[in-house]
Amino acid sequence: MSSKKKTAISPTREEDYSEWYQQVIKEADLAEHSPVRGCMVIKPWGYGIWENIQKVLDEKFKETGHQNAYFPLFIPVSFLEKEAKHVEGFAKECAVVTHHRLEKKGDKLVPAGELDEPLVIRPTSEMIIGEMFSKWVHSYRDLPILINQWANIVRWEMRTRMFLRTTEFLWQEGHTAHATKEEALEETLKMLDVYADFAKNYLAIPVIKGQKSEGEKFPGADTTYCIEAMMQDKKALQGGTSHFLGQNFSKSCNIKFADIDGKETFCWTSSWGVTTRLIGALIMVHSDDDGLILPPRISPTHIVILPVVHKEDVAGEVASYCENLKSELTKINYFGRPLQVFIDKREIRGGEKKWQWIKKGIPLILEVGPRDIKEEALFVTRRDDKSSKSVKRSVFLETLVEELDSIQSALLLRATKFRDENIKEIKTKEEFYAFFTPENKEKPEIHGGFAKAYFCMDAKIEEKLKEDLNVTVRCIPLDHEDKEGICIFSKNKAARQVIFAKAY
């Protein structure tokens, strides 16, 4: 007989990480593929996570002075043509609308009514928002403009993966205009800090804040900053970006203002965004071979109560007790919101029901039966470590907030430990190539991690590393030692160490 441990997710992370990821999404009932190639349907449990991401970030944006607005889905092609680098960066990903109606020909509907100018379905909104800013800004008194938009985006991807890279995805995009370079740069870094704080304190994901290389920065930006996280297969995932756009888009969109002396000058702008990709990060950073694991601060529901009824004559008593318990629990606040509690009354086997919630990643499972009622106790299971114990109801209520924080802290600690153990300082080119060359070619995910090395930022070398190893400069860490070194590839002087990795 096989001694292999049975898991809820098959294959396991070790057997096939990519397929494991897809199965976690399926078993947790987060999303599924839609009839449109490359698009997904986000189901209630998955969308509940996104709603919580929205709520927290929206509050943080408003605390920093931003207001929400909405801009058109369609962008005239001529708008994109105004900024050469920008259009070049997105041209291959654009979905284009060329007609405005359908006509029936035989059994088919065919496009008719060709548009005078094709419309691009927004891959990002810099150009359309820049057009509007040019109408809104006249004087230094109109600045700064601090705008955020919650929207959907379309980028025509050839290889898609749910939450990580889809043809259509959800995101927020912040766009700001300022009177000075210093203000715009301060804004760019401030929003990067907001993202890093959110990732750490809500998603329990440790990130590295850094600057992108010239080859990896946003098309049309002066500087792109990012947060990078390590997944359990040791690949990097870019969790969010913040762009200092300089005056590039202001000049393209004619965003000008009269300064205090009456002199006309171009604005300095920024843009920044995160997407539903954060849900993919949550899955890959925290989940195990039994399914999803959610940090309590972002989980749609904190606690599920499972009534345990073996005899019909006690069903009413158990149901009443569970309702009373739920009422008591929902009066407790946890990290800025009332506890979200669900009683699962479905008539299916208790073991199957419990496993469904384990796969969905809910932080705490409470099982309540006649014996528990008699003893004024609850049978409590933590999802993060799957530990179970019987706890007196009064004690559980008193220590519940601490228990949820314990789960949150444990997930962050585990993810941080894993990341730090898999960052290696590399001293030579040979060591670098060995680090990123899989020992087992059938399981490339079992080798590598983040490499920290001195690099002279030569674009040709960077392209060669991508070609040879599929490795890129993930970022130049902002929290770095201000110390020069020697580039491990060119032997030229290097201003600082950078982080290399394979990435999603």
- Is residue 377, in this structure, part of any structural domain at all? yes
CA distance 168 to 19: 21
Higher-confidence residue: 28 or 85?
A: 28
CA distance 360 to 315: 26
Which positions ≥6 away from 53 have C-beta within 8 Å? 202, 274, 278, 279, 298
Q: Contact at 8 Å (CB) between 305 and 326?
A: yes
Answer yes or no: do 67 and 154 share one domain: yes
**Last residue in a domain, options 225, 254, 286:** 286
pTM for the model: 0.95
Answer yes or no: do 275 and 174 share one domain: yes
Look up residue 425 and give its two tokens: 């300082």
- Is residue 189, in this structure, part of any structural domain at all? yes
**pLDDT tens readout for residues 281-336:** 999 999 999 999 999 999 999 999 999 988 787 789 999 999 999 999 999 999 99
- Is residue 416, in this structure, part of any structural domain at all? no
The reported pLDDT for the residue numbered 1 is 40
Answer yes or no: do 434 and 404 share one domain: no
CA distance 252 to 129: 12
Answer yes or no: do 139 and 247 share one domain: yes
Answer yes or no: do 308 and 281 share one domain: no
Q: For position 493, which CATH number holds?
A: 3.30.110.30
Cα atoms found within 13 Å of the Cα of residue 10, Cβ hemisphere only: 5
CA distance 14 to 460: 35
- Is residue 231, in this structure, part of any structural domain at all? yes
- Is residue 417, in this structure, part of any structural domain at all? no
The reported pLDDT for the residue numbered 314 is 76
Instruction: Give the H or E element holding residue 178.
Output: strand 168-178
Which positions ≥6 away from 502 have C-beta within 8 Å? 234, 235, 236, 436, 448, 469, 470, 471, 472
Answer yes or no: do 146 and 266 share one domain: yes
Contacts 24+ apart (CB under 8 A), 334-337: 334/296, 334/297, 334/302, 334/400, 334/401, 334/404, 335/296, 335/297, 335/404, 337/55
Task: From residue 476, give the alpha-carbon distance in Å to each of 4, 217, 381, 482.
Answer: 42, 12, 42, 12
For the segment 156-160, the average pLDDT, to the nearest whole number, is 87
The reported pLDDT for the residue numbered 385 is 96
Range of the structural domain that residue 213 is part of? 17-286
CA distance 371 to 374: 5
**Last residue in a domain, options 253, 286, 319:** 286
For the segment 151-175, the average pLDDT, to the nearest whole number, is 95
CA distance 392 to 409: 24
The reported pLDDT for the residue numbered 443 is 57
Task: From residue 185, give the alpha-carbon distance in Å to each of 19, 64, 125, 269, 393.
Answer: 41, 15, 20, 8, 52
Instruction: Give the H or E element holding residue 231.
Output: none
Answer yes or no: do 433 and 332 share one domain: no
**pLDDT tens readout for residues 239-284:** 999 999 999 999 999 999 999 999 999 999 999 999 999 999 999 9
Answer yes or no: do 381 and 241 share one domain: no
CA distance 437 to 80: 40
Residue that has been written with the tokens 């949550």 in this structure: 282
- DSSP state, residue 503: B
CA distance 500 to 502: 7
The reported pLDDT for the residue numbered 14 is 93
Q: Contact at 8 Å (CB) between 325 and 368?
A: yes
Q: For position 402, which CATH number holds?
A: 3.40.50.800
- Is residue 72, in this structure, part of any structural domain at all? yes
Answer yes or no: do 71 and 189 share one domain: yes
Confidence grade of residue 2 (pLDDT, cut at 50, 70, 90): very low
Q: How does the average pLDDT of the chain come out, rounded?
A: 95
Answer yes or no: do 367 and 430 share one domain: no
For the segment 179-184, the average pLDDT, to the nearest whole number, is 98
Could you please report the per-residue DSSP string of 374-438?
A: HTTEEEEEETTT--EEEEEHHHHHHHHHHHHHHHHHHHHHHHHHHHHHTEEE--SHHHHHHHTS-
Look up residue 28 and give its two tokens: 């947790």
Q: Looking at the predicted structure, is the pLDDT value of residue 174 above 80?
A: yes
CA distance 496 to 504: 24
Tally of domains in the chain: 3
Look up residue 51 and give its two tokens: 């709603």
Lowest mean pLDDT among 71-85, 223-237, 413-427: 71-85
User: Counting every residue, how long is the chain?
Assistant: 504
From 292, 394, 363, 299, select the one nearest 337 (Cα to Cα).
299
Answer yes or no: do 473 and 347 share one domain: no
Q: For position 188, which CATH number holds?
A: 3.30.930.10
- Following CA atoms 463, 464, 466, 469 in sequence, which dihedral angle do they give, to the nearest 10 degrees? -170
**Last residue in a domain, options 241, 260, 286:** 286
Answer yes or no: do 27 and 168 share one domain: yes
The reported pLDDT for the residue numbered 265 is 97
**pLDDT tens readout for residues 337-360:** 999 999 999 988 878 999 999 999
- Is residue 200, in this structure, part of any structural domain at all? yes
The reported pLDDT for the residue numbered 307 is 96
**pLDDT tens readout for residues 437-459:** 976 555 555 568 999 999 999 99
- Is residue 386, in this structure, part of any structural domain at all? yes
